[in-house]
Amino acid sequence: MSSSESKPAYFLVSLGCPKNLVDSERMAGLLRLEGYEMVAEQERADFALVNTCGFIAEARHESYGVIEEMLEKKRRGMLRGVIVAGCLAEWDREALLSRYPEIDQLVGVFAREEIAAAASRLLEGRAEPRALFRPAPSRPLADDGRLRVTLPHVGYLKIAEGCDRRCTFCTIPRIRGRYASKPIEQIVAEARGLADDGVRELILVAQDTSYYGRDLYGAPRLAELLGELDAVEGLVWIRPMYLYPHHITDELIERIAHARRVLPYLDLPLQHISDRVLERMRRGVTRAETERLIERLRRRIDGLVLRTTLMSGFPGETEAEFRELLEFVRRARFERLGVFAYSPEPGTPAERMDPAVPEPIGRARRDRLMAAQQEIARQYNRAQVGRRRDVLVDGPVPGQPHAYVGRTMADAPEIDGAVYVTGEDLAPGRIVPTEIVDFRGYDLIGVPYDRADREDGS
């Protein structure tokens, strides 16, 4: 724990998705302005700041576990207090204080700008107010002035807040409010600031990036935004995530296909392929529309890598509908795929739907989907052996001299595979031309090569 003569110190735990991470970095930046120091060792901290996730049951359980861990440290005198912020705080509100009365301050999603005041109350022993919530603003909060905690060369940029979709399984609109886009000029300014700070890979996030601009400009403007970002000097890779199948226009496809910096990597969370299940999910898209979109994307974007997320065990999903989804996965051959077993979210329409699929069946179906995807991923990685790929170096492999870990454009940080490269003095953030020589599971193994020696024109 820090001494009274030093700066007040805190330990940050950021849980959940990249959108939460951006909020964590913004709160850290605000605390830095007020003289607080973030420390990596819990024993040096005066208090803990836990930015929680409340999206699904698994995320909530993780958040509860971290809260309990920090409160135990408070009981043992290792921390003076605990601040809980983020989506779970917004979702549970005062019920969270009833469950954990030892929480010192509770800060909702849209009260994050007042995090320094909450920290001050904690350290000064002023209990009230313990809970701080604000309504969703009509325009997203600014995310500049952040203290970034990611790899120095990787930066997340939130282009919009909230969601207008009404998927029957999802709590996000209740937690984050209606969809609200940042103006293009604000996003570009944030991107330039991140590039000036050393970011080489810019990852665009929102609840639905392909919807970007609809609320602000009357029509989706992601294609125009990507065009503006493509001109930002210093950036090397731009990776848009979370594109809902709607609003992927010909203009957007052409922009991605011909951009200098925007990667041919698209994350399309599809959830399912059965028309009846999609209708019950209220996804607003059909199987035929989805398959036509995938065909257009594959045909028009060279070297495209497609990622999707699927859900097994949604209420009413029959074995035949699951087999339809399984066969779709085998035929679509997504380069990257994740699967969640459905869990009922309190207050959502799906929670009241019948018949419920027993949890063991939902999990078993998830495992069957992932087994099919593992074979597809193995075949994809086998096809990479002997090819030459640009690898963005993330850093050295601990305890392994001359070994580094990085990623190709096909790999988003934290969720996809990696490339292990042997070489010398491969600085993080550097793009290294690499020949793939082997693979292990989801990961590739490569060695650098001199681009000047390239003979195949690849």
- Domains of the chain, with CATH numbers? 9-132 (3.40.50.12160), 154-383 (3.80.30.20), 385-453 (2.40.50.140)
Name the residue type at position 91.
Answer: W
State the pLDDT confidence band at 6, using cuts at 50, 70 and 90: low
pLDDT at 139: 87
Q: pLDDT by residue (tens digit) across 417-435?
A: 999 999 888 999 999 999 9
CB atoms within 10 A of CB 419: 26
Task: Find the mean pLDDT for residues 346-351.
Answer: 92
Structure token digits, residue 12: 């940050």
Q: Does pLDDT of 174 surpass 90?
A: no
**Gap between the Cα atoms of 51 and 292, Å rounded:** 40
Q: Is the model's pLDDT at 3 over the cut of 50?
A: no
| Rounded-to-integer distance, Cα 175 and Cα 161, Å | 11
In terms of Cα–Cα distance, which of 235, 294, 233 is closest to 262? 235
Rounded Cα distance, 223 and 253, in Å: 8
233-271, pLDDT tens digit by residue?
A: 999 999 999 999 989 999 999 999 999 999 999 999 999
Does position 453 have pLDDT exceeding 60, yes or no?
no
Residue 233 exposed, middle or buried by CB count within 10 Å (0-12, 13-18, 19+): exposed
pLDDT tier at 451, thresholds 50, 70, 90: low
Check whether 228 has a pLDDT greater than 90.
yes
291-341 pLDDT, tens digit each: 999 999 999 999 999 999 999 999 999 999 999 999 999 999 999 999 999
pLDDT, tens digit, for every residue of 350-400? 999 999 999 999 999 999 999 999 999 999 999 999 999 999 999 999 999
Closest CA to 444 of 421, 422, 415: 421
pLDDT tens digits for range 33-90: 999 999 999 899 999 999 999 888 888 999 999 999 999 999 999 999 999 999 999 9
